[in-house]
Structure formats: structure tokens, C-alpha cells
Amino acid sequence: MSYAAFYQRSIDEPEAFWAEQARLIDWERTPTQILDESRPPFTRWFTDGRTNLCHNAVDRHLRERGDQPALIHVSTETGREERYSFTQLHEQVQRTAAMLLALGVGRGDRVLVYMPMIPEAVFTMLACARIGAIHSVVFGGFASVSLASRIEDAMPRLVVSADAGSRGGKVIPYKPLLDEALRLSAHQPDAVLLVDRQLAPMERVPGRDHAWETLAERHAGAQVPCEWLDSGEISYTMYTSGTTGRPKGVQRDVGGYAVALAASMKHIFQGAPGETYFCTSDIGWVVGHSYIVYGPLIAGMATILYEGLPIRPDAGIWWQLVEKYRVNVMFSAPTAVRVLKKHDIEHMKRHDLGSLRALFLAGEPLDEPTARWINEALGVPVIDNYWQTETGWPILTLAHGVERQPAKFGSPGLPMYGWRVKILDQATGEELTEPNKKGVVAIELPTPPGFMQTIWRDDERFVRTYWQGIPGRTVYSTFDWGIRDEDGYYFILGRTDDVINVAGHRLGTREIEESVSSHPAVAEVAVVGVADAVKGQVAMAFVVPREAAVLEDEAARLRLEGDIMKTVDTQLGALARPARVRFVGALPKTRSGKLLRRAIQAVCEGRDPGDLSTIEDPTALEQIKGR
């Protein structure tokens, strides 16, 4: 079947289509009511079905591949490297489930997970899924004030954490951050469960804090059956990055999410049982939930849980893991590839990457120079994909499991099955059907399985935030600008709120960044709009040059600035030309690789940049201040 026909069937016959996909997972009670659209925009899937995420990720594989690797943990921070087969993972998850039950956690209770990339974090997530508890993973090392707000919103019965994480050889103590967050929080959990990695000293609060090691020993050999859950019960909540004010908890179901992930592993990622999947993200982000923990395991694959940097001990570490564990599918971010691009390609070439079939990239738009470099270096398909915390799995990419289709540099691809993607005029709501017309990327009802159910404890906010932004239309706004070309491929142009208004002319920062990054001397760039008394705003570009020597040579900086200005002039016109191009050694990013554009803007305008708890390199903002 052609992909076009496959996609169209998912749109024209959604119930029949998704009933077929539902057969990719195990059900305790097979659903007969596939789609419930009775209360838009709250689409519900498989409403009378009963299943369990942990059963589908672990238990169902025991008979056929119990001895095969399931979880491979590698930490270049501590030197820890270990494998768990499906049978061993099953034992660990049952033990952890018994620990949670002993601490009073039951079906529907919340467990807040504030942990580094260690196996115990995955055990906890799967144990929550096993007993019907709702996990809420907060990125390890998150600042106390932000952590406190999430504790207050989630109201967990239990918090699971550790003494510390480590990043680039630097120990980050978690326990003091957690203690301060609990001091600030109006909600207090019944208990705190702590893994001691022996990285940092920590004080335990008597009666509240429990040692993982002690409870694990007490519950060794425990047998805890899976709790069969209604499809529409809550599997987890996740707080979106960049949230201001009260946290916004994306709420996900059980059955729809399991089916969506199983289908994506087959049709998009082409993962097969017994193979190995390596996603370089973090469990604190939605990519980590979907494609480190649940997706690969549901597909019967081994999944690599990696703690460390892509360039430590050297820029070949990821490729070393690909060779050692015969990785078949890899998932990373464009920023990580740009970091690797700065290093000698021999780090990659000295490893046997023959097992690798494809590299998937997501998290931010993939620029053409980066796409070309990694494509040529690896010699395998490099497939961009576009989605959000709210959607749970890709909206736009290429489904090579259905039909191989060519990639286009700069485009994440085509709408995936089930996603009714439209380009709409932001002011009128009119659908823009002509090719290359810029508008808001929006999604019509019904949303497919795996999409968020609502905002945790706030249906009204869910409707107001996502479904009322386009005049006269009840559509989900991605808050991203995009275009669709004559072949149906979509191109994402940046956030609808990442717009610079220069003397009445609206300019997208993403378009200017694309132009600047096309200059061969540019390694990375961030463009922000900065307040200007005359023009309202002006564009400021911050560039990481490919040659570090430029940073120390004023004449070279001036020459390069002039060249970049000419490039933008030629490609976009004088209106889009940045007011200044500043050169820095690094750009401020989160540990998942997202540029902190609003923080850059705030620094440029002399404002407080806000919560920077997830920033990878705090000195990057200091460099921008100094420019």
C-alpha cells in the first residue's frame, strides 16, 4: 500500500484503521468502542478496552525473549555499564512495585520522579504503570522553586529521587534541591524514596525519607501482578518546558498511548524485536518517555539509557555504543549533531556502524547544512521528525515502514497517519491550500491516539490554551509557523510568538537563523528580537563561529559580521538583516539541546532571564552579557 493511501484511510476510516493498530498490543479486554467524539475537543480512544503499559513493555515478552537484553545502562559519568534482560527487568520492576505499594502508593496516586539517567528511574516509571499509579517525571537537577510548583500541582503521595546526578564530570547534588522544594511546597508527600549513588552526602529526614537499597533488599523476589486499567485512565503527567506561571501538566492516557507507540515503532521507526534502539534524550522529556522507555520496550527491543555528554570521554562515545551494542535505530537532536560536527569526523569513522539503519532527529528544526553533514557522514537515512510534548509521538516525518519516500532537507516530512494537519491563516482561520503559503500549523479533530487527554486538573485551561487560538475554528494550535510545498512536505518556520516586529514588518527568527547558518563560517546561531526605541524591535544574531580563533581576532569578527549581513541581505532582504552579529563560544541551551531564546532576549534587554535550572552551560549567558 502506498503511504498516501495508508494515510487517507486513517483519516477517512479512523475507527477501522485504529482498530487494526490496536492489535499490535495486548489487551485484557479487547476494545469494541474505538473512538468517542461525544465531547469535543476531548477525543477518547478504545474506551471499553483494558490494558497495561508495563505488561506490554515487559511481561508479554518474557516467553519468547526473556533472556534478550531489554535495558542497557551506560554512564560515562560514573563508569557504570550494565544490562538487564527482559526477565531481569521484570524482576526489578516487580520489586520496585512492591516498594511503592509498601510506601502507600496505589492506583491513581501520583509519584513524582526527580532522578538522573539511572536504571532505578526506569524501574520506577514501569512500576507505576504496573500498579496503576501516575508518574510525573521532572528533569533531574531542576531548580527548587520550579520543582516545588510541580510538587504542588501534581500532589504526589511519593517522591523518588537520588543523592545526585552528574554532568560533564560535575556532580549535581539533588537532595538539597529537593529538600528546599519540599520546604517551599504547600503539598507534602507521605514519603521520599532515595537512591544513594555515593556521589554526594545527603541527610535523610527521619520518618519521611527511605533508602532505596534497604527497601529493595526487603522486597527481593516480590511478585506484583499488573493492574489492568481502563484505556482512558491516566498513565502519566508531564510538565511542559518553558512554562511560566502555574505549571501546565500534559496528561496522557494508557490505551491510546500504548497503541500509538506500538504503531510508530512499526510504521515510522521500523524497530523489530531483538534489535537495539538508542535514544540520546532524557527521561525528563517526552522523547525519553516515548522512545527511551515505553516505545522500544513495547516493540521488544533493547533500549539504551545513557548518562553523559556526546563528547566525553571524546566525540566518538555515541558511535562506540552503536558499534558495541549493534544499534539499529538511533534518535537524537539537531543540536547534538551540530556539537559533533565541530569535532574530527575520525571519531565516527573509526567505529563499525554497519548495524545502524537510520538516524531520527527532533526537538528543533533541522537546518540543511547539519542535515547534509550527518547524512554524508553516516551514509544511512537521516529522518527529521516534528512533534510536541502534547502530541506524544511524531506529527510530521516519513513512515518508511509503510513506504520509503525521499527526505527533503529542511523539512520534517509529511503528516503522519491520524494527524489532520492544516496550514491556517492566524488572523482569519482560513485554510491556506496553495503551496508555500505561511500560516499556523494546526490539527483538526479528532486527534489520534497518544495525544494528550487534557491539562492535569484543568480542562478549561486545556480548551482555552490549545483550542481557541484560531478565529472561528476549533482546532489544536501548535503555535508554530509552517508552510507546505507542492509535494505536501511541511517546513516549520518557528514559533508564532518568535516573531520580530521591525518597524511594522513581521519577521520570523527561524527564517533569519536559516539564512545566517547557511554561511560556511557559522557553526550555530540564535536570533532574537530586542526592544528598540526607534523600530520597536531589531534582530540580534548570536553566532558560534566554526573557527574558535575568530573570537579572539577583532578584525576577523568584523569581516565575518559583514559577510553574514550580506548573506541575509541577499537571501531575505535588508529588512531581515540583523542589527548586529555577536560572536560567542557557546549558546545557552537546555540539556536536551533547546536554545533558550527568551533568556537571551531577556539578557539583551536587561531583564531577569528567569528560571535557568535546565541550562547546560551557565557561562553561555555570561558570554552574551559580555557582548
In DSSP notation, 333-350 reads -HHHHHHHHTS-THHHHT
Q: What pLDDT does residue 26 have?
A: 98
Cβ neighbours of 118 (radius 10 Å): 21
pTM value is: 0.87
Does position 206 have pLDDT exceeding 90, yes or no? yes
- d(CA 122, CA 293) in angstroms, rounded, equals 7
In the chain, the amino acid numbered 225 is P
Q: What are the backbone dihedrals phi and psi of residue 545, each rounded to the nearest 5 degrees, phi first?
A: -75, 150
Distance linking the first and last C-alpha atoms of the chain? 56
Domain residue limits, the chain:
3-308+385-479, 498-626
Taking the mean position of all CA atoms in its chain, how far away is CA 46?
A: 26
Q: Which pLDDT belongs to residue 576?
A: 84
State how far the Cα of 410 lies from the Cα of 321, in Å rounded to an integer. 28
Q: What is the pLDDT confidence band of residue 370, given thresholds at 50, 70 and 90? A: confident
Residue 51: pLDDT over 80: yes
Domain 498-626 has CATH 3.40.640.10: no
Does the pLDDT at position 242 exceed 60? no
Q: What confidence category does residue 540 fall into, taking pLDDT thresholds of 50, 70 and 90?
A: very high
Work out the number of other CB atoms within 10 angstroms of the CB of residue 79.
7
Q: State residue 503's pLDDT score.
A: 67
Q: What Cα–Cα distance (Å) separates residue 33 from each residue in 16, 29, 44, 218, 282? A: 11, 11, 10, 43, 35
Listed as own residue / partner, the contacts of 399-407 with beta carbons closer than 8 Å and 24 or more positions apart are 399/3, 399/6, 399/267, 399/268, 400/268, 400/270, 400/358, 401/266, 401/267, 401/268, 401/269, 401/270, 402/1, 402/3, 402/6, 402/267, 403/1, 403/2, 403/3, 403/6, 405/3, 407/381, 407/382, 407/383
Right CATH for 3-308+385-479 from 3.40.50.12780, 3.40.50.2300, 1.10.1740.10, 1.10.760.10: 3.40.50.12780
pLDDT band (50, 70, 90) for residue 244: very low
Contact 383, 404 (CB under 8 A): no
Q: What is the pLDDT of residues 80-106, one digit of tens each?
A: 999 999 999 999 999 999 999 999 999
- Per DSSP, helices labelled H in 523-618 are 554-572, 597-604
Q: Rounded to the nearest 5°, which phi and psi values hold at 490?
A: -100, 150
pLDDT at site 611? 66
Q: Is the pLDDT of residue 570 over 70?
A: yes
Query: Per-residue pLDDT tens for 37-49?
Result: 999 999 999 999 9
pLDDT given at position 627: 66
279 and 290 Cβ atoms separated by less than 8 Å: no
Closest CA to 528 of 542, 548, 546: 542
Q: Above 90 in pLDDT, residue 214?
A: yes
- Taking 90 as the threshold, does the pLDDT of residue 275 lie above it? yes
pLDDT at 401 over 50: yes
